Each structure stands twice: as structure tokens, then as C-alpha cells.
Structure 1
């Protein structure tokens, strides 16, 4: 009897357990977490402002993010003059950038670019800087040198026709120094070509642009094509840090005597994706759009 009693009791417990399992209203999928939204969207820089006044603007194509037009301060003119840079593409590669200033006294710069096979680097280029008269205009040809192992840009040699002369008579040699992938110095040597058209370095006057102590965060300018910033930097080498993937925390510019060297410090705030949102020392604000 005792044995039969326990058998009936265990059978009853098992039956109750079966009923409980069958009568549950819980959806088994509720325990599966919702899928995430995937990686955050890529961003592209659209504006740099200082005290709510626009300093740089970048207009890009919807979807692709290809740079179409860029507006930047004309550092060669007084007041609030600005350059508008218009970018032209051939087979998805930048082949021309033309800069027109709002100041009538400034030169009009037009760069014609031959990309290499990858489309990401400049094979060679030429430019015209056109002024009101031939005597202030400049025609330039550029030869680009890259490190065969790292593919980094190491040198640009610019041969120039200045003062309305039909032959190349001057040069600028841009030599690049890196720390990792970041440009930490550009040495610009300006001088006279010899009778064979080669740089006579004994005539050179040297300027140095040093970009120091980079952070490990994303440069706002790395969201835009480096080819554009190379052309802009050939107008003003102080911009060459913009082809680096990270952000310098100081810049030291040494121009020929009697100019006084200038040291500028930078300090940044970032968003949760590592993009710079504010440069605190110059009170710059960076605005992006999602691609």
C-alpha cells in the first residue's frame, strides 16, 4: 500500500508539472534580446565655426559624401574674404580644384590633377594662380614622391614660372616627416632653379611647419578627401596637418627672418564615436552630417 501511495504521488506531481508547462503564456522569444542597430553611421565634416561664425564649409553629395564645394578663409586678403573651392571629378577621382576668392585682389587658383592608378593619390599636377596682370601670376608643375614601402607622401617639388616669364625660374621643395601616419613636419625650401632647371638649394629660404603631439582620435578632416587638402596646403602649407588621420595638439610655425616663430596649442572635446566636436583654445566648433 505504501509503495502504491508513493507511486501515485510522484505520478501526480509529474502530471501537474506537465500541465504547468502546457498552460504557460510566456513567449519563448521574449528572452532573446533585440538585434542591435549595427555600427554607427559614418560622418562627414560640414562646417567649422568660431563663436557661431562660419570659418569653413564643406558641401558633399548625398549618399556618396563626395566633396563638391568647399569654403575657407582667404588668408591672403584682409577682412572676411573667403575662397570657394569647386571640385571636379573624372571617373570618381578628383581631377580639378578651382579656388575663387571673394576678394578681387586675390589670385584665382586652379589645380589640374592626374591621379595614380588607385585614384587615392596624386601622380602629378599643375596649377595656375592668375592675377590681374601676368607679372603677379604663377604657373606651376608638381612632381610627387611616395615611399615605396609605406606609400606615404614624402616630397613635392614645385617648379614655378613667376613674374610673367615663360620659362620655369623658381621652385618650392616640400619635404614631409611623419610619426606613424601623421605628418609632424613639412619643410618648405623656396629658391631659384639653375640653368638646367634643377633646384639650386644654396639659394633656398626655408620655412618649417611642425604639427606636434597628435591625439589618437579621428581628425574631422579625415572624413574628406586628402587630395583636396593637398591642393589647399599648396596654397598655404599651414594646412598640411589636415591630411593626417589624427589631431595635433600644438603647431609651431617658423617662417624666414625677421618673422617671429608662432606656437599654437590645441585642446579638443570629442563625441562618443571619437569625432572632434570642439577645439577649445580657438573656440572652434565642428559640425557633421551622417552618410
Structure 2
């Protein structure tokens, strides 16, 4: 028990610091000294990169914060570390502004550190279930697996996972997420957390979705759907192949550069930002996720942009 308490305390400390950095980088004009401090913090402990990956996903929601709150939080962060009350206030506003529901979640998630299988930022992993199913974890993801004599169960704790279940095993396979439960037997499906909602895609087999509101729906092979926290289900119109990462690639069609950078940033630690002047440039192609630096070079070669490295962990895409 003391070991678990220590882990929880450490995780919360990294989250506090990551929130401070997010506010400072979003609303301040970073000086060279600030950049060096951020790089030092990011590389000084492995928990820091994970906390940054988790918290930096709030970037778009942070843009809609009331200016007075963001300014007061920023000013406070220069004087002292954000206290628990200020942090909960900030996360509460983010939850209301972006519909994230973070106030009811662990920001970093002790459960992730205790998960049966997990990946770091930029890492992808194959897992074989005892039933013969193939499970793939994408970047910064975590799952639990439980098998009994009459049931197979996977719980998505964080991130994104694909499941190619063994149809020869007659036990039902349950997949639990924060907003829904799915059931299959020999299906192949993909699940990705998106804010407080879920992206799901089915490639093969029968899959049944049971939403938190009690609704049940069969998902047919080929469908790609988005489920929000309220239980609303709609077709997903994506500019990225949701299955691409399972083959180690990021495949996009006519995706705005700003959205492409947001997607690419999931696979690399640090801060990747796109200038407004080039944000709407369109990106198409298939890129190898094993080398994100090569992806940045390809962008500079094929678009009127330049890649500016302030540090290894701080990269800006700017107009030529």
C-alpha cells in the first residue's frame, strides 16, 4: 500500500507541473530561458513526458478558456506551483468548455501505471491473449486483460487499441471503455479515446455496442463511428486512416497541416506547433511512424514550410 500511495503522489505532482507548462506555453511569449527550462523538465524524469502527453491533449480546449482565468493561472504559475484548488478549477473549466469530463477522471491515471499492458509515447506494442487473440496498443495506451472460464474481457484504460479476437474461442469477448461496452466473439475492431468520447471501427465480424445510456447497436464491418459522452453515435468522417498505425504508418488525405501536427504529436514527446500562416496547408500521403523526424523533413520538402527546432522537444512549423 505505501508503494501505491507514493506512485499516486508522484503522478499527481507531474500532472500539476504539466498543467503549468501547458498554460505558460499557450499564453506566454516563451523566452529562451523558458524553453530551456521546459526541455530540462521534460527530460528530467520519465513521468514528465507521460504527463505532458496526457495534459497537452487539452491544448484545443485550453484555447477556449476565459481570458481572465487563463491570465490569472499564468500569473500564478510564475509565482508558485498551481495548488490543488486552482488545478481543479482549471480542469473543471476545461471539462465544461470541451466536454471532456476530466473532473471525474484521474488526469494522469494511477490505473495506467498498474495496467497489464501499456505503451509510452511513440511506442506501439503487440500483445497475445491467452485465447490466441492479437491485441495491438498504440502510442501512450494502457489496457487490462482478464480471462475466466466463461468470459474474455479487455478494458481500455487510456489511448488506442485494436483487437483481432480469436473466433475459435466460443467465449464472448467484452471490451470496456469509459463511455460504452462492446461485445464480440471473432470480430476485429479498433477503439480510440477522443476527449470524453470514443472512435470505433470494425473491420471483421459481429460487434455489438452497448452505450452508457442503455442503447444497443450492432456495428457492421467497414463502419467507422464516433460516440460522444452523451451516448450520441454518428458516422466519423476522417482524413486519416484509423487502421494505419497498426501497420506502423500515418496515412492521411487532404488533412490540414495543423490537424496533421496534432496527430503526429501523439507519437513524439515534447511540443510540436504549427504557425497559423501554414495551418490550412493540405497534407496527403503515407508516413512511417518509426521516424517522426523523417516525417518533418518530408513536410519541409513538399510544402512551403520550414521546421524550426528551438530544442529537441520544441519544434515549430513555420512559413518559408
TM-score (norm 1): 0.29
- Name the one with the larger strand percent: 1
Considering only CA atoms, is the larger Rg found in Structure 1 or Structure 2?
Answer: 1
- Name the one with the larger helix percent: 2
Structure of higher RCO (CA pairs closer than 8 Å, 6+ residues apart): 1
TM-score (norm 2): 0.27
